[in-house]
Amino acid sequence: AQSVTQLGSHVSVSEGALVLLRCNYSSSVPPYLFWYVQYPNQGLQLLLKYTSAATLVKGINGFEAEFKKSETSFHLTKPSAHMSDAAEYFCAVSVVGSGNTGKLIFGQGTTLQVKP
């Protein structure tokens, strides 16, 4: 069975500081991995995805994530936080395979607060 663990339900950084949101996954087969962002009262927007190509994935808004199979991790980073980055972030895993629905299994989410 697949699962996702996001370490830290709440992360606070200063504007301009490095953002690091942690995600560890469990999967017995090659996974697809995703990071989504959710602003208040809105749906989910895809930031980036890993689909077994390059292990360093670049996404929108300056975010990137690195797939580390040995550590079963897919942490999200951004060199310099902006106030507009304040939101809820979700890591998700989907299983590759014929006949699979591609359903997403989400972590519990991490709230990013950016202080001026």
Partner 1 sequence: ETGVTQSPTHLIKTRGQQVTLRCSSQSGHNTVSWYQQALGQGPQFIFQYYREEENGRGNFPPRFSGLQFPNYSSELNVNALELDDSALYLCASSPLLNNEQFFGPGTRLTVL
Note whether 50 and 57 are within 8 A (CB). yes
40 touches partner 1 by CB under 8 A: no
Applying the rule CB under 8 A, the residues between 54 and 113 that interact with partner 1 are 90, 92, 94, 96-97, 100-109
Instruction: For the chain, report the end-to-end CA distance as a whole number of angstroms.
Output: 41
CB 85, CB 68: distance < 8 Å? no
Closest separation between CB of residue 102 and partner 1, Å? 4
Question: What is the nearest approach in angstroms of partner 1 to the Cβ of residue 83?
Answer: 23
Q: Closest separation between CB of residue 112 and partner 1, Å?
A: 15
Single out the segment in contact with partner 1 by CB under 8 A; choices: 23-31, 34-42, 65-73, 79-87. Answer: 34-42
Query: What distance in Å separates the CA atoms of residue 102 and residue 65, rounded to the nearest whole number?
Result: 21
Identify the three-state secondary structure at position 4.
strand
Nearer to partner 1, 17 or 104 (CB): 104
